[in-house]
Amino acid sequence: MSIKNHHHVDAIETLKRMGVRITPQRNAILSYLLSSTHHPTAHDIYEALKDDYPNMSATTIYNNLRLFKQANIIRVTYSAASSRFDANLMEHDHVICRRCGSITDFRCPLLPMAESEIIQATGYSIESHRLEIYGLCPSCQTEEP
């Protein structure tokens, strides 16, 4: 079973344990998020699914995203005044374009060392971290301001 399929099955099981009914629309939203690598907005999801699910409203999208967030099966990242949704729950960080809002995943091999130093300096037990770096993506760097 692929990682994506495994994550989909885990997410469905998590929702079922919460007593959530798995509707075709809910499953479609979840599948879209799991197959997306561009951190879609709610509007992106709506636009991608509206032809296959003409009765699905934007409210349905928002309500399911809120539910998925409560179930810890997606992450929310904010960029260029919009919420972006990410079903990749593996440890990773983001570089966010402050102009167009695009988000790129990255992993920094230096962070484990930084976390060790933070633990020593503060005495905290680190459970997780969230690193977001803001700048201009390559496309926006070539555009006029």
**What are φ and ψ of residue 86, in 5° steps?**
-140, 120
Whether residue 43 is annotated as binding a ligand: the answer is no
Whether residue 108 is annotated as binding a ligand: the answer is no
d(CA 27, CA 68): 11
DSSP E strands: which ranges in the chain?
75-79, 82-86, 93-97, 103-106, 132-135
Whether residue 129 is annotated as binding a ligand: the answer is yes
DSSP E strands: which ranges in 33-92?
75-79, 82-86
Q: Which helix or strand (DSSP H or E) is residue 8 part of?
A: helix 3-17
Please enumerate, by residue number, every residue annotated as part of a binding site for Fe cation: 93, 129
Please enumerate, by residue number, every residue annotated as part of a binding site: 93, 97, 100, 129, 137, 140
Please enumerate, by residue number, every residue annotated as part of a binding site for Zn(2+): 97, 100, 137, 140
